[in-house]
Each structure stands twice: as structure tokens, then as C-alpha cells.
């Protein structure tokens, strides 16, 4: 009888395991390149829409309404993506709508990320009534449906671009609180934090110099993923009339006007929808790759 011994699984030496990290980072960086290029194009368009547009975004001409993509007007100007129900150039409005959608998402992520991150650090460091109150308040906000919170806030403040940013910031900060609080609870027990406390470092110094740098990478991952959600939420609020108000263009408001003409002017809703799809997919892929690069289990 021959006994077959299973080969023993040996752990890789620490030096080899540590060398995996730069390889993972390089691999993820290479995979990010096409998605970063997509985002870079949209950022350039958002910053300088006038460079690419050959029409004004809000000038109407009812004699040229619902013209198909590639239509040339009487003066010879090209309507690359056609015109809408009021004769406005769809391509131009899509360019200027990029500025609105991206600025709303960036501003909302900054508000929710900074607010939630700071509150999460306090909740994790002060494990007393203050931390309990912060976490319970975050749970209450999370329990309120997003659109109900948006409707209530807009009903009080009124529909506008600024109020939509406030709504998105209020609705999403609890996500950062949970991440920051959990990471802080782990970090405060580390030796370097204990050593700083023994050496007499103040609370502010410990939070800023020792705990915050450990939490920022996790918050960056959350913020990257949240950016895509913010664009979808902005489009959703504009779609139901709670966001950017006419005649200012945004991707969501363009979808709203386009839904009424889907059967006769497919391009009105198709191109804004494709823009939302491309940006959200690119941002989500970048967020996933950053998360994989920073995940200790992968490293």
C-alpha cells in the first residue's frame, strides 16, 4: 500500500509577500488608465465647455426643433447630436450639463466626506456618550428613505443647485461615519497611538497626526465609489424636478425632457443616458481598483 502525502503548503517568506504590494499597485494603475482618461475628458469638458460648443446652450429656435443628429441649420452650423423640443443644440447642452453634474457630485462628496469623516473619528476615539449620540444620529439618517429626505429638504429650501448639493451631502454622510468610526476603533489600539498618549501628546495631535492618516485611504475609496452614486442621484433629482431648474442644462433634466419624445426623437434621452453610464462606470471601476490596491487581504 502506497501512501500519498499531500504537499505541505508553505508560507511565502515575508520579503516576497511584501514585494507583492508594488506589483499589485502597478497592475491596478495600468488597469486604471483607460478609466482615468474617460474621467479626464469629462473634466476638461466640464471646465471648458465653450471650447467644444458651437451654439449657446439656452437659445431656442422652434423652426429647428427635434432635428436629428448631424443636422445643419440654415446658417451652415452643425448640430452634431441634433436639437431638442425647443430647437436647442443637444451637444452643447450635454457639454454644459457635464459641468453641472460633475460639480454637484464633487461638492456633495466633499461635504459628506469631510462631515462624516470627522464625526466618525470623534465617535471612534471618544467611546462614550458623544460617540453613541453620533452613531445613533447616523442610524436615524440612514433609516430615512433618500427621496423622502430630498423631498422634505427641497420643500423647505426650494429647488436649486445649491439645495440639491445640501440634500446629497446630508443624505450620504452616515456612510463615511461608519467607515471612519470602525477604522478609528482599530487604530486607537495600535502601539504608535498608545506611545503618543504615554509621551503626553494632546488629543488634537493624536487625531490629526496619527489617526487621520490611517483613515484617509479608506475614506478615499468610499468617496470614489460615492462619486458615481452622486451623479445618479443628481440625475434622479433633476429627473423628478427637484434639481437644476430650466433652462439650465443638466444630464438629469435632459433625460426628463427627452422621455416625452422617445418615440420620435430618440437622441434626446440616449446621449445624456450614455454620458451618465460612461462616467459612473469609469468612476466605479477606479474605486474598485483603488479598494483592491489598499485591501490588506489582496496584498
CATH number of 31-46+77-294: 1.10.3720.10
Q: What is the pLDDT of residues 70-79, one digit of tens each?
A: 888 877 888 8
Q: Which of 144-153, 241-250, 269-278 has the highest mean pLDDT?
A: 269-278
| pTM: predicted TM-score of the whole model, two decimal places | 0.80
Give, in order, the Cα–Cα distances in Å from 240 to each of 156, 183, 243. 17, 37, 8
Please say if the pLDDT value at position 206 is more than 90.
no
Gap between the Cα atoms of 209 and 213, Å rounded: 7
Report the pLDDT value the prediction gives residue 58, as an integer from 0 to 100. 87
In three state form, how does the secondary structure of 33-98 look? HHHHHHHHHHHHHHHCHHHCCCCCCCCCCHHHCCCCCCEECCCCCEECCCECCCCCEHHHHHHHHH
Mean pLDDT of 29-34: 80
The residue extents of the domains of the chain are 31-46+77-294
Q: What is the pLDDT of residues 61-110, one digit of tens each?
A: 888 888 889 888 877 888 889 899 888 999 999 999 999 889 988 999 99
Please say if the pLDDT value at position 6 is more than 70.
no
pLDDT band at 111 (very low <50, low <70, confident <90, very high): very high
Amino acid at each position: 500500500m502506497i501512501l500519498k502525502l499531500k504537499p505541505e503548503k508553505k508560507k511565502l517568506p515575508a520579503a516576497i509577500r511584501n514585494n507583492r504590494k508594488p506589483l499589485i499597485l502597478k497592475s491596478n494603475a495600468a488597469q486604471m488608465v483607460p478609466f482615468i482618461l474617460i474621467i479626464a475628458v469629462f473634466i476638461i469638458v466640464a471646465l471648458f465647455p465653450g471650447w467644444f460648443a458651437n451654439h449657446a446652450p439656452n437659445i431656442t429656435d422652434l423652426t429647428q426643433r427635434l432635428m436629428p443628429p448631424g443636422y445643419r441649420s440654415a446658417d451652415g452650423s452643425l448640430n452634431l447630436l441634433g436639437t431638442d423640443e425647443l430647437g436647442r443644440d443637444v451637444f452643447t447642452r450635454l457639454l454644459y450639463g457635464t459641468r453641472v453634474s460633475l460639480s454637484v457630485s464633487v461638492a456633495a462628496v466633499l461635504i459628506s466626506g469631510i462631515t462624516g469623516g470627522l464625526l466618525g473619528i470623534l465617535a471612534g476615539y471618544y467611546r462614550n456618550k458623544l460617540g453613541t449620540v453620533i452613531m445613533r444620529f447616523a442610524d436615524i439618517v440612514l433609516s430615512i428613505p433618500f427621496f423622502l429626505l430630498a423631498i422634505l429638504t427641497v420643500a423647505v429650501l426650494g429647488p436649486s443647485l445649491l439645495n440639491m448639493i445640501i440634500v446629497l451631502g446630508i443624505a450620504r454622510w452616515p456612510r463615511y461615519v461608519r467607515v471612519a468610526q470602525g477604522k478609528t476603533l482599530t487604530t486607537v489600539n495600535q502601539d504608535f497611538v498608545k506611545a503618543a498618549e504615554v509621551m503626553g501628546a494632546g488629543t488634537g495631535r493624536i487625531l490629526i497626526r496619527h489617526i487621520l492618516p490611517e483613515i484617509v485611504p479608506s475614506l478615499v475609496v468610499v468617496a470614489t465609489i460615492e462619486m458615481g452614486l452622486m451623479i445618479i442621484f443628481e440625475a434622479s433629482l433633476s429627473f423628478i424636478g427637484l434639481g437644476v431648474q430650466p433652462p439650465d442644462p443638466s444630464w438629469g433634466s435632459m433625460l426628463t425632457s427627452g422621455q416625452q419624445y422617445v418615440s420620435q426623437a430618440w437622441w434626446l434621452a440616449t446621449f445624456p443616458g450614455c454620458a451618465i453610464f460612461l462616467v459612473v462606470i469609469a468612476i466605479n471601476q477606479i474605486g474598485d481598483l483603488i479598494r483592491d490596491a489598499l485591501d490588506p487581504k489582496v496584498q
